[in-house]
Amino acid sequence: MTQLKNKRILVIVAGGIAAYKSLELVRRLRDADAAVRVVMTQAAQQFVGQLSFQALSGQIVRSDLLDPGAEAAMGHIELARWADAVVIAPATADILARVCAGLADDLATTICLATTAPLLIAPAMNQQMWQNAATQRNIATLLERGAVSVGPDAGAQACGEIGPGRLAETESILTAINQLFTLPTLSGVRIMITAGPTQEAIDPVRFIGNRSSGKMGFALAQAARDSGADVHLVHGPVAISPPTGVRAEPVVSAEEMYAAVISQIDAVDIFIGCAAVADYRIEEPVKQKRKKSEQTLNLTLTPTRDILRSVTQRPSPPFAVGFAAETENLLEHAQSKLKKKSLDMIAANIVGVEGSGFESSDNELHVLWNGGQKLLAKAPKEIIANQLVGLIATCFGQRPS
């Protein structure tokens, strides 16, 4: 986190059960030699006390807009001008709505309205509140105004429900804050990313599919967006929401994904084939549901079209990045695919092991390109995505015209 040294980070803690996680965020920011000040909403203090944040930040914690001592010197304006970045973590549905509306009825919202520093939002709330149209509209509006968002993650929540709404991991928030002080490396670059599985119909009810969740491809789309790229995300059927600020195009089958890619590939600078595209499809899917019987069912499979090869064989192909999901001989298979499909780069990972790859929130990638390779050690997929996009930007910039 070299970009955070001596940076002045104002952390706004809103009133959600995830407020306690912001203690770790403040500690890690101080470890990175950042100067940290904390503002808590009145609701946040019902979850965590001011003294905890004061001990970790080394600074008085502010919460009252009309504090006579601080406001004698226009304290809310002083804080707004002091900050190099303002981070709301956790960002509840309430504070998102109030900041979006431009309210200034407490210290936190007043600072957000008065600052010119970049604003980073780490949402955390009940999964239904997050998916509500009003919340999605508010977050989209804030992003349009230049705010940056990280998370939320999906999983079990304190209320007992399961879904998107968990505060992003501290490491992911730190990476996002760090990137606020890094100049966009892909500004104006057009990137197409494929993500998730494809489903190949057997009949109107059944299909052939795979275990891809789309998490890696969606994380890449967010990382590319944060690097300034114009991102087009073509994704198969998944249970997660696309990152805001990217153009998402849902498809179902390998043939549909092929058509979506090829129809616009000539306008793309970088293509990242992260989708787990089915290798085979049913030669003749039936139009009515197949009834179960005691007889053996034989299905005739035919190969799907090779999207990666079709991209790299264009007259003027984009910088092409492929993925290789393997269960053995990882580097050997990855090197072979890199050459066979004329790729500029390939990211290979082992699947079928617990805690990494398909359906996991973590990943580990061996990245190979002509003249180099690098191991991206196991970490949350958001972190891996940021590292991989950085490598892609470097190699893309060195590519001959």
How many C-beta atoms surround the C-beta of residue 293 within 10 A?
A: 7
How many C-beta atoms surround the C-beta of residue 82 within 10 A?
A: 15
- Are 122 and 150 spatial neighbours (Cβ–Cβ below 8 Å)? yes
**What's the number of CA atoms in the CB half-sphere (13 Å) around residue 80?**
18
Peptide bond just before 152 cis, omega within 30 deg? yes
Distance CA(191)–CA(189), nearest Å, equals 6
Catalytic residue among 112, 159, 274, 395: 159
- Are 297 and 345 spatial neighbours (Cβ–Cβ below 8 Å)? no
Asked if 274 is an active-site residue, the reply is no
DSSP assigned state of 19: G
Distance CA(25)–CA(8), nearest Å, equals 14
Nearest to 261 by CA among 186, 193, 190, 189: 193
Query: 131: Cβ–Cβ under 8 A, 6 or more apart, which residues?
Result: 163, 164, 241
In this structure, what token pair is assigned to residue 325? 């999901």
Q: Taking every pair of C-alpha atoms in the chain, what is the biggest distance, in angstroms?
A: 85
SS3 328: coil
Q: Indicate which residues carry an active-site annotation.
A: 159
